[in-house]
Amino acid sequence: MITGMLTISVTLFALTILVAVIRIILGPSLPDRVVALDVIGVNLIATIAVVSVMMNTKAFLEAILILGILSFIGTIAFSKFIERGKIVERKRDG
């Protein structure tokens, strides 16, 4: 019963990732693409967590943390690029 529910949830996460990839390709604007990338990151984290439960292991927890941090940093960088046009601003003295 639980294995079936976990398999269905992994399948639905994969379907959501596929829809987000389509949104990245066909997205009418850059903010739509950034949101789709964020959705992919969140769904990958959830998929890895479900697979970890299915395999009854804690080996993937570090991967979940690293993916979460990278997804957050990527979202912040894209948002800053959309808002200002630059990711890294350099101030010059003089």
Q: Model confidence over 41-90: pLDDT tens digits? A: 999 999 999 999 999 999 999 999 999 999 999 888 888 888 877 767 77
Instruction: Dump pLDDT digits (tens) for 1-22.
Output: 899 999 999 999 999 999 999 9
Record the pTM: 0.82
19, with CB counted inside 10 A (0-12, 13-18, 19+), is middle
pLDDT in tens, 19-53: 999 999 998 888 899 899 999 999 999 999 999 99
53: Cβ contacts below 8 Å, ≥ 6 apart: 6
C-alpha to C-alpha distance for 49 and 28, rounded to whole angstroms = 32
